[in-house]
Structure 1
Amino acid sequence: MTLVTVRYLPAIAALLMLPLVPATAEAAPAGTFYVTSVRTGLNVAQSGSGLALHRPKGNEDRQQWRLSDGRFENTDSPGQCITRQLTMGSCSQGDTVHEPRQFGDQWEFFGLGGESRWYLTPVVSRTEPMPADPRLDQMTFLTAHNAYANGVDGGFAPPFVNLAKNQTRGIVQQLNDGVRGFSLDIHQTPDGAILCHNSCTLVSKPVALNVDIQRIVDFLRANRSEIVTVFLEDYVSADVLRAELRKVQGLGDVLYRAEGVQQNGWPKRSQMQATGKRLIIFTDHGKDGREDSGVLYQKDWTVENYWSMGPGLGNSDWSCYSRWGDKPLTATGNFPPLFYMNHFRDVPFSSTATTDNSKVANRAQQFCQPAARKKPNYVSVDLYHLGDAAQAVRHLNSYVYRP
């Protein structure tokens, strides 16, 4: 027996050194999928008798494909499959059989629009129950779009614009109502970083950034289990921002600086509670040293969909695609980026916001979740108290999404 073993050792060693053979069509998954470009985040859609790459739009744009035995059949065109010439043809044709090769969570098959690497994202999401102690990237937070533009805490624009309030309750009330994400616009004036739209000229009763951050810090010190995130649309210098944050008493006790995330991933809720570091501040301003004050450059840590669903009245566009052309919603790396989901119109109207906010969970699950291959971590809405957006967030917090 020993002689036989020694005799075959070279052959066995040679076999072990062979490269892994990519999966073929027979090993490709079966089911109904979105086919998403790894590089751009665009989806393959049937376009007439051919194909095109379109922004993800759920089941509204012929973007769902039934995959079986290497054939891609469009669910809106039964019996019609993608040919090797990238046209649509009868699924009975031999040239509709493709040979997908798997590379981790990516697949390589037909080349379209210069793309050859794709994600196959199930149309019906796979989920697991939310763990008792979730990581930050598994949680979802109700977020107030333009939280400062509420008409309660102070003015935020010249009088004629103050009529279009994004919120109608002050920051303290928002915190008490369960809002845990706050988007704030800051502009530079001789008085520092002021919260306002576009220009702070003629703003009545202007509010400084440090005032609202202090309100949030005070809330966190009184509520030791809560986590809050601030998103700054930032038009001030690094020095002004530093000076503004220095005015906030107790900020250093609660400010989370994302240390170790790139190596170890996002922390669990219990870890943030144990350290007390439960306030995250993101800025959309390019890197210029302001990060040394504890703020994080948002584009390094998150993905975000386009900011508007359309005008304040009329039909909305629920397609879900990246706000940043060079970073698709599907982007990933050493750690999973947090997903900031915008869900509002150009102009806030009560009737429209009520309808839109009642459909947050539907858009998140049917449109944005498969487009990003991750669950939204922040759901940003206007007039958050209308349409029960909080209930949608509670539902999103009941499960973990698996692409």
Structure 2
Amino acid sequence: MRTPHALLATTVALAAAVVAPQPAAAAVPAPGTYYVQSATTGLNAADSGGAVEQHRPRGNEDRQQWRLKPDGAAHLLENADAPGNCLGRSGDQAATVTCASADAAWEITPAGDDRYTLKVPGATRHLTVAPKPSGANYPARLGVGGAGDLATWYLTPVDPATAPMPPEDRRTLDQVTFLTAHNAYANGVDGGFAPPFVNLVPNQTRGIERQLSDGVRGFMLDIHQTPDGAILCHNSCTLVSRPVALWVDLQRMVDFLEAHPDQVVTVFLEDYVDPGVLRAELARVDGLSDVLYRPDRTGVRMNGWPAMADLIAANDRLLIFTDHSRSADQSAGLTRDSFGVMYQREWTVENYWSMGSGVGSSDWSCYSRWYDAGTNIPLTRTEPGFRPLFVMNHFRDVPIAGTAATDNTKLADRARRFCQPAARKKPTFLAVDHYDLGNPASAVATLNSYTYP
């Protein structure tokens, strides 16, 4: 039993612990080169002929990199492509000005969740995104105005410090990167996937079973509704010979998982069927319920993604996402997550699907697929305790084999310099055409060697 003196000492110590100041987080990031990235849109501040606009993240290609420097009690953001010119202001508009100008200085203050405000010294004006007009995107030109969500920014390092991957028994799902086949069903091996002319240009040239044995772990599938159920077709199932039913390819994946109890597979549905049709299609897959993973039932949104080892131990090894609208399903009276299909926009972020046509130059900018007049889900989206999985698309409009082979050799470089800083997270799924060309698996291996801060 404790003596009164011991009790008193313990009480004093506890009180001291309560009032003792805690180490303060760094008020401002260390000097270095950063992207100034809107916390609202995920787009980057770029020098555009003297104006400062928010542009799609383009790495070092679009005057979007800024060198953070102390300037007395304030800071400067000097454009990395135009030394001597800083992110500043001209009246109520953001502009590049000479770094010696009084209009170049900013007071940078933490705004929570790794976000900051950039305030005009001695004033109550901030660097801000202009308000969104009804039925339109946020304007490109940045302004100087009041506080609030539109005036919060990430300062994303151009070259962030990374850390080694945790041991296999502790690495979480969102720390791992998976090779993913875009239009995996459009392979010309398992069956037809499009009308005759389109059928001549497959996205992949190996069937689903071979894709699984080659290490593909993410599968993008387009499903359309026919009298026979959910069929895998590109744009339309009209005139398609020997189309494959969704349940057939899902059965191949479930059989693979049963034969390989240490593996995890993810399916992304571009989904054009009624929820009842999809539910009936899934019911045809033997063993699906044994391996289907339900993050909505396991506290992921509050606690983050589990360790891969825990998913494997629980046999939660098949994730199915749909791009369908929850609101449309609610109107129909049956939501897909009621039978285990997750709404992708609630659990992932995804960059725009195309890098351009099948030939010629490509567009490596990395911005949200879900950013338009009606939707704003930036790649940077996070929630307390939860970080969405990042689907990184790396393919063109037309899957020409030679172009895909060249593009796939550049996958790791685009992920590191463009998409990773754009999303402020490492890609979870690298989606490519012709996964067997250009060795995209090497990019997966590189990404699986470290964690992003």
TM-score normalized with structure 2 length: 0.83
Q: Does 1:62 align with 2:63?
A: yes
CA-based RMSD of the aligned residues comes to 1.9
- Superimposed CA distance per residue, residues 148-184 of structure 1 (whole angstroms, 9 cap, x where no aligned partner): 0000000001111101100000000000000000000
- Superimposed CA distance per residue, residues 86-124 of structure 1 (whole angstroms, 9 cap, x where no aligned partner): 322221223322101112200001424323110000000
| Alpha-carbon distance in 1 for matches of 2:213, 2:240 | 27
Equivalent residues of 1:358, 1:389 under 8 A apart: yes
For 1:368, which of 419, 426, 430 is the aligned residue?
A: 419
Paired AA for residue 58 in structure 2: K
Equivalent residues of 2:174, 2:428 under 8 A apart: yes
- Superimposed CA distance per residue, residues 16-47 of structure 1 (whole angstroms, 9 cap, x where no aligned partner): 7x9x99987xx453110000000011100011
Aligned to 2:382: 332
For 1:125, which of 150, 154, 160 is the aligned residue?
A: 160
SS of residue paired to 2:278: helix
For 2:79, which of 74, 77, 94 is the aligned residue?
A: 74
For 1:277, which of 292, 304, 316 is the aligned residue?
A: 316
Change in 2 beyond 3 A, CA 1:103/1:156: same
Q: Does 1:260 align with 2:299?
A: yes
For 1:205, which of 207, 221, 242 is the aligned residue?
A: 242
Aligned to 1:106: 115
Aligned to 1:167: 204
| Alpha-carbon distance in 1 for matches of 2:424, 2:236 | 37
| Alpha-carbon distance in 1 for matches of 2:241, 2:214 | 26
Paired AA for residue 152 in structure 1: V
Equivalent residues of 1:28, 1:100 under 8 A apart: no
| Alpha-carbon distance in 1 for matches of 2:127, 2:103 | 15
Question: Could you list the runs of 5+ residues in structure 1 that have no partner in the other structure?
Answer: 1-12
Aligned to 1:311: 357
Q: Select between 312-321 and 43-52 the one with higher mean Cα deviation.
A: 43-52
| Alpha-carbon distance in 1 for matches of 2:392, 2:291 | 25
Q: Does 1:352 align with 2:353?
A: no
Q: Which runs of 4+ in 1 moved over 3 A?
A: 20-24
Equivalent residues of 1:22, 1:101 under 8 A apart: no
| Alpha-carbon distance in 2 for matches of 1:49, 1:292 | 52
SS of residue paired to 2:395: coil
SS of residue paired to 1:162: helix
Q: Select between 59-68 and 264-273 the one with higher mean Cα deviation.
A: 264-273
For 1:294, which of 334, 340, 343 is the aligned residue?
A: 340
Report the Cα offset of residue 279 of structure 1: 0.3
- Superimposed CA distance per residue, residues 332-363 of structure 1 (whole angstroms, 9 cap, x where no aligned partner): 01310000000000001111001100000000
SS of residue paired to 1:379: strand
Aligned to 2:136: none
Change in 2 beyond 3 A, CA 1:124/1:21: closer
TM-score normalized with structure 1 length: 0.93
| Alpha-carbon distance in 1 for matches of 2:194, 2:40 | 39
SS of residue paired to 1:309: coil
Equivalent residues of 2:128, 2:152 under 8 A apart: no
